Amino acid sequence: MLKPIKLAKDHFLSSFDLTKDEINHILNLAKDFKNKDLNVNASGKVLGLIFDKSSTRTRVSFQVAMTRLGGTTIDLNPTTSQIGRGEPIKDTARVLSRYCDVMAIRTFDHSDLEEYAKWSSKPVINALTDLEHPCQALADFLTIKEEFGRLENLVITFVGDGNNVANSLILCGALLGVKIRIACPKGFQPNKDIISKAKQIRGNDDFLTITNDPSKAALDANVLYTDVWTSMGEENQKDEKDREFNGYLLDQSLVNKAKEDAIVLHCLPAYRGKEITNQVMEGEKSRIFDQAENRLHVQQALLSCFFS
């Protein structure tokens, strides 16, 4: 029977903090948790949740995952703790990591997450920053693997903003051997450092294509993926982004360009009629709600590794 493994890195801040073998192991563990073939006892363990931004899936999947593992969570809402009053991260991290066994943190600047990790004596997990969303990428690849039974050489086309979700998809995809195409407007390309890290892994392989032509990117793709145009914290750019992303709608005509057995993903929350049509979201190719469910199973798998 599969068992959780100790991860090489102390923290999970980036998709790049895991090796290919570790990711595959977590995906296999997640599958077993999903099939209820695995029972890990983390009784007495405490996960602290610090969320500077809203969350439904990430927060609740972490809470349910801990409950299923026999542990508990503490919701350290910044507005009711001293975090919201400006207590330095280095102080908060040193105190909370004496109480909690692991921390999941959702914040704006990735450097703030790194600061938490620097001062925390316990593992810190990235629950989304402006730069990355690595837990989401694990659930995405579990969903894709469930569908196709493999990952190597599949073409995953992401249509939308090249920020956190796209960045983690690129890094995780680089490790797992898929091909990634990003279709985004000029000025909204994925982070340059992320691209160069991913390219280091894959060398001269043509695994990454960045274009501003969604139709070209969708051609014969195995997976079509999108995300909101206006991310959390960018609300004041909404009108500008609505203009910039005009033409980047994941609609039926784009789906028709992909492979016959292609699937559609969205990390959620979704704005129907903006980045995706209702028809595509509710259509037969959509695996969006399986993808959301898989957040729970990968969270259980990831946490169990941090407790092993």
Is residue 57 within the footprint of ligand CP (CB under 6 A)? yes
Tell me whether residue 172 is one of the annotated catalytic residues. no
Compute the least distance from the CB of residue 57 to ligand CP, in Å: 4
Cis before 269? omega within 30: yes
Binding residue (CB under 6 A) for ligand NVA from 15, 107, 163, 286: 163
Catalytic residue, from 63, 136, 291, 299: name it.
Answer: 136
Stretch that binds ligand CP, among 7-15, 52-60, 90-98, 146-154 (CB under 6 A): 52-60
Tell me whether residue 136 is one of the annotated catalytic residues. yes
Token representation of residue 246: 């005009």
Stretch that binds ligand NVA, among 21-29, 63-71, 113-121, 157-165 (CB under 6 A): 157-165
Edge to edge, the sheet with strand 46-51 lists 72-75, 46-51, 102-106, 124-126
Residue 29 and residue 143 in contact, taking contact as beta carbons nearer than 8 Å: no
What mask of x and - would describe binding to ligand CP in positions 241 to 270, judged by CB under 6 A?
--------------------------xx--
Smallest CA-to-CA distance from 261 within 177, 149, 138 is with: 149
CA angle 175, 177, 179 (to 5 degrees): 115
Tell me which residue has its CB nearest to ligand NVA.
231
Q: Which DSSP string do the residues of 155-191 spell out, in sequence order?
A: EEEEES--SHHHHHHHHHHHHHT-EEEEE--TT-PPP
Is residue 231 within the footprint of ligand NVA (CB under 6 A)? yes
120 binds, among ligand NVA, ligand CP, none (CB under 5 to 8 A by kind): none
Question: Residues in the site for ligand CP, rule: CB under 6 A?
Answer: 55-58, 128, 136, 267-268
